[in-house]
Amino acid sequence: MLVAVIGGLVLYLLFKYFFYEDDTLLDLDSFHANALFAVAKRLEKLYHGSKVYVGIQIPDPDSASRRNIDLVLVTDHEAVVISVKNVSGFVSCDNDGNWVCTGKHHKTEQIPNPVAETKKLVSILEEYLEQRGVALPDGFLSFKVICPNPNFRAIRSDSFPPEVITYDQWTQLKPGQKNLASGWIKSVLHGGKDKMQESFCEKLNSVLSTAPISDRLELKGNRYVLGEFLEFKGKQEDLQALRTIKRSKVSRLSVQKISMLGFAHSTVQVLYTLRDYRAEGSSQREEVTVRSSTLVLFQPQNSDKPCKYKLSSVVSLLLSA
């Protein structure tokens, strides 16, 4: 019996070493980011021709720092700043707009007024767009708070402001639907899309597509982590091979498996795209082969400490400029 227990422990440690000697088991870091991409994907399906920008980092003059915006939805008629609250449990809204969430084991959490926080982001984004030459029509930019978690249970849903899209309302949205009872899409610009409107939308999308964003780490299993890439950790020869991959030089990298040793990949091929600051022209791609055990050190948003991920668990890494 003791031999079987020891044997099982050894197998577990070997499995953990080859596959999970990093923080990929800690889903808390990817929990919020996964929700953002799921909401963004559904919004683009709901509103044909729309574009959703994820994880924009807008400079805030008042705090002299960057403020994170979960999503910005742009349609032909409106732009919407969206905060995603992926909370679960029984949720109530008090008189001050704060949320009280009661989850498993009756654990209670208070979330400071999400509507007020999101409303602040609207003015910050408006100022940023004006600085970059995009003057928005009055009422063009609005905001919403979306609760996409199926375990979200609103206590007295009528106590939530109309800017909040509860899970039940979220599931009721249909493709092509112009508005919800809360006024989801207001259609500020009426009628067909004329040349002036088309030019304005192109300029708005151009500015948002080049706005500062969070670094984006994609992991196996369709998981994402938003935050900041710090560095690689590993053998000296691997770090030497990866020395070119810096934020100033590389915009994106992807990881492919090329050789195996037993059950684990011994080496991986890293394909990276050199950053091209020219308006036109194709970006150059290069590649390097390193050990699969090489680690990516990444600082997730809203986390006090950086996490490490094996390259064997990484699909891609998008680096902001």
Contacts of 83 (CB under 8 A, 6+ apart): 69, 70, 71, 114, 117, 118, 121, 143, 144, 145, 146
Domain boundary among 159, 188, 209: 209
Residue 265, in any domain of the structure: yes
Q: Can you give the pLDDT at residue 71?
A: 97
Q: For residue 95, give the 3-state DSSP assignment.
A: coil
Q: How confident is the model at residue 297 (pLDDT cuts 50, 70, 90)?
A: very high
Provide the domain count of the chain: 2
**Domain span holding position 235:** 10-27+215-318
User: DSSP labels for 296-309?
Assistant: EEEEETT-SS-EEE
Residues 271 and 185 both lie in one domain: no
User: DSSP labels for 25-53?
Assistant: T-THHHHHHHHHHHHHHHHHHHSTT-EEE
Strand partners, 214: none
Cα–Cα distance for residue pair 225/318, rounded to 1 Å: 11
Q: How confident is the model at residue 190 (pLDDT cuts 50, 70, 90)?
A: very low
Residue 55 pLDDT exceeds 90: yes
Residues 153 and 183 both lie in one domain: yes
Residue 42, in any domain of the structure: no
Strand partners, 299: 228
Residues 126 and 145 both lie in one domain: yes
Contacts of 102 (CB under 8 A, 6+ apart): 89, 90, 91, 108
- The first and second tokens of residue 190, run together, are 């009426």
Residues 174 and 79 both lie in one domain: yes
Q: Can you give the pLDDT at residue 28?
A: 56
Phi, psi (degrees; rounded to nearest 5) at 243:
-60, -25
- Give the predicted TM-score (pTM) of the model: 0.81
Q: What CATH number is associated with residue 72? A: 3.40.1350
Residues 237 and 109 both lie in one domain: no
The closest alpha carbon to 84, from 226, 262, 258, 255, belongs to: 226
Distance of CA 95 to the CA centre of its chain: 31
Residue 41, in any domain of the structure: no
Domain boundary among 209, 231, 259: 209
Q: Can you give the pLDDT at residue 262?
A: 54
CB-based contact 26:307 (threshold 8 Å)? yes
Query: Residue 84: left if φ>0, alpha if ψ -120 to 50, beta else—which one?
Result: beta
Residue 296, in any domain of the structure: yes
CA pseudo-torsion sign 273, 39, 228, 27: negative
Residue 182, in any domain of the structure: yes
The closest alpha carbon to 131, from 211, 77, 51, belongs to: 211
Q: For residue 131, give the 3-state DSSP assignment.
A: helix
Residues 166 and 61 both lie in one domain: yes
Residues 129 and 63 both lie in one domain: yes
Residues 251 and 169 both lie in one domain: no
Q: Can you give the pLDDT at residue 115?
A: 96
Residue 283, in any domain of the structure: yes
Distance of CA 158 to the CA centre of its chain: 29
CB-based contact 291:234 (threshold 8 Å)? yes
- The first and second tokens of residue 8, run together, are 């099982």
- The first and second tokens of residue 242, run together, are 């990866």
Residue 163, in any domain of the structure: yes
Residues 65 and 197 both lie in one domain: yes
The closest alpha carbon to 225, from 313, 115, 114, belongs to: 313
The closest alpha carbon to 268, from 225, 307, 220, belongs to: 220
Structure confidence by residue, pLDDT tens digits, 237-280: 999 999 999 998 999 999 987 766 555 558 999 999 998 766 55
The DSSP call for residue 233 is E
Residues 55 and 146 both lie in one domain: yes
Residues 314 and 231 both lie in one domain: yes
Structure confidence by residue, pLDDT tens digits, 6-53: 544 444 444 444 444 455 544 556 788 999 999 999 999 998 889 999
Domain boundary among 209, 229, 259: 209
Contacts of 155 (CB under 8 A, 6+ apart): 90, 91, 92
Structure confidence by residue, pLDDT tens digits, 206-237: 999 989 999 999 999 889 999 999 999 999 99
Residues 68 and 156 both lie in one domain: yes
